[in-house]
Amino acid sequence: MSFIPAELIKKKKSGGHHSREEVAWIVRSFTNGDFKDYQMAAWAMAVWFNGMNDDETAALTEAMFRSGDHFDFSHLPAARVDKHSTGGVGDKTSLLIGPILAAAEVYTPMISGRGLGHTGGTLDKYESIPGFRVNLSRREFESYVTDHYFSVMGQTKDICPADKKLYALRDVTSTVDCLPLICASIMSKKLAESLTGLVLDVKYGSGALMKTISEARKLALLLKTTGEKNGIRVTALITNMNEPLGRFIGNAVEVQECYEILQGRSHIVNGYDFYQPTRDLSVELSAHAILLAKKSSDIVHARNLATELLVSGAALRSFEKLLEYQGPAEIQKRPVAQFSAEIKARRSGFVTNMQTEQIGLAGIELGCGRKSATDQVDHSAGIEMCVHLGEKIKSGQTLCRYFSNSQNSLVFAEAMLSQAIEIGETGCPRQSLVADTLADSRLSR
């Protein structure tokens, strides 16, 4: 079946809805070059203005998934569950969730991405561990998941090539912030993992793509519906990104934070444990994954199991085993930055607000992330948060430390960080880390 590109563009421009066959043809023709880039750009802009209904979004997701190769874990005797985050600052929970789920004997094939923009990337964090390999062959990835329950790798050129091609086009045509296209991009790669269940961490706030809870819930519902229409059980958590998650922002430093959490350590300053948010959110996301994998019958038992696996050292052993079979990787040789500096409070008061995206962008200036996809990352660069929202502080108190291998980078970061942490006269209540949970409706069946 063949269609006329201009007519399909006109249909969407006029607010019409595509059939499943039309969507499949658009994706297939775009991938092989028959539907030209300029035509796809026009179509994507029409989608940006007029949206897609749930059936169209599900069809787009399926078509993008079928544009390339995918893994087949159907031979495994149990459920396969992964976690996906919409991205934030200091968002490092995947480093803990994978080992926790492996310790729970939940199969977790994790295809992860690199950082772009102010949010970090899981692959960059793992690659900050000397010797760790993320460029795995298909056979290696499948065997590691089968034998050890967990493996992490990057998206190859053969997995969802339509997604990679379309994202590059969206990036230069101002159509990145389009919910149906965001949804199809995320979920097509999850379909390629041959999952039975997926836990979504959909963030809202100053450091998230979605700035409000209502925006995050709208995206979460779309992702959940799309996954379920394609045969995956989905639970979505709406989580707070109005301040960086945990103690560190960066790559090697975030690995350090997670490794110390796996070792049972804390980092308590003025009665506040900076590791607690990372630990709590990782346990909560893991618990919902355990529930989707039917390793627990209710969420309370699942939380207790995830906590026990973390506290007992079972998750630490899974992580250290991962370093062996995807290495050998030497975590004790993580890179350390040559230069560092601090931002100090100019007045006493309370931490009333954090411009979290600005903090993430300062991390990019230090070398933690990329301004473009071809930029090199300084794995040693990072930021240490020394205060939290609502904390009472004194003039001269350290608000954050930041480090890099470039002294010039410190200068640029200082200008951004000095304005990013706001101090006021009165305190503010602590915000809940998890604002809402949209659970899989079939869990009780």
Q: What is the mean pLDDT of residues 245-258?
A: 97
Mean pLDDT of 210-237: 96
**Residue 340's beta-bridge partner residues?**
403
Contacts of 329 (CB under 8 A, 6+ apart): 129, 130, 131, 132, 133, 323
What residues have CB less than 8 Å from 408, skipping those under 6 apart?
none
Residue 264 has pLDDT above 80, yes or no: yes
- Residue-wise DSSP of 111-132: EE---BTTB--HHHHHHTSTT-
Q: What share of the chain is helix, strand, coil (3-state, %, to 5)?
A: 45, 20, 40
pLDDT reported for residue 401: 98
* pLDDT greater than 80 at residue 372: no
Residue 32 sits at the vertex; the CA angle it makes with 31 and 35, to the nearest 5 degrees, is 75
Question: What's the whole-number mean pLDDT along residues 146-167?
Answer: 92
**Alpha helix ranges (H) inside 192-313:** 213-229, 252-262, 276-292, 299-311
Structure confidence at residue 176 (pLDDT)? 85
Name the pLDDT band for 444 (thresholds 50, 70, 90). Answer: very low
Angle 237-368-242 from CA coordinates, rounded to 5°? 35
Mean pLDDT value across residues 378-386: 97
**Sheet architecture: strand order including 339-344:** 248-250, 382-385, 398-404, 339-344
What would the pLDDT profile of 71-99 be if each residue is shown by its tens digit?
Answer: 989 899 999 999 999 999 999 999 999 99
Q: What is the mean pLDDT of residues 258-262?
A: 98
Q: Which two tokens stand for residue 13?
A: 């421009």
Q: Is the sign of the CA dihedral 400, 401, 403, 407 positive or negative? A: positive
CA distances from 170 to 43, 190, 209 (A): 11, 20, 16
Give the least confident one: 65-69, 170-174, 275-279, 401-405: 170-174
Q: What percent of the chain has pLDDT over 90?
A: 87
The model's pLDDT over 393-418, given as tens digits with 9 standing for 90+, comes to 999 999 999 999 999 999 999 999 99
* Preceding amide of 429 cis, omega within 30: no
Q: Return the pLDDT at 171.
A: 81
Q: Identical fold at 5-51 and 338-424?
A: no
- 113-144 tens-digit pLDDT: 876 667 778 999 999 999 999 999 999 999 99
The yes-or-no verdict on residue 202 having pLDDT over 70 is yes
Domain 5-51, CATH among 3.40.395.10, 1.10.10.10, 3.40.50.300, 1.20.970.10: 1.20.970.10
The 10s digit of each residue's pLDDT in 96-110 is 999 999 999 999 999
The residues annotated as belonging to the active site are 84, 163, 170, 185, 189
Position 395 scores a pLDDT of 98
Region of 396 please: left (phi>0), alpha (psi -120 to 50) or beta.
left
Average pLDDT over all residues of the chain: 94
Residues forming beta bridges with residue 401, ordered by sequence position: 342, 384
| CA-based nearest residue to 169, from 185, 150, 153 | 185
Where in the chain are the domains? Answer: 5-51, 81-331, 338-424
pLDDT at residue number 442: 60
- CATH class label, 81-331: alpha beta
Residue with the bigger pLDDT between 440 and 382: it is 382
Indicate the CATH number for domain 338-424: 3.90.1170.30
φ, ψ dihedrals at 103, nearest 5°:
-65, -30
Reported as a single tens digit per residue, the pLDDT across 168-193 is 899 889 898 899 999 999 999 999 99
Half-sphere exposure in the Cβ direction for 433 (13 Å, CA): 16
| b (16+ CB within 10 A) / e for 296-319 | beebeebbebbbebbeeebbbebb
User: Which pTM does this prediction carry?
Assistant: 0.94
Q: Cβ(435)–Cβ(213) under 8 Å?
A: yes
Q: Could you give the residue ranges of the DSSP H alpha helices within 135-292? A: 138-148, 161-172, 179-191, 213-229, 252-262, 276-292
Beta bridge partners of residue 202, listed in sequence order: 238
**For residue 116, what pLDDT is reported?**
63
Average pLDDT value for residue range 304-309 = 98
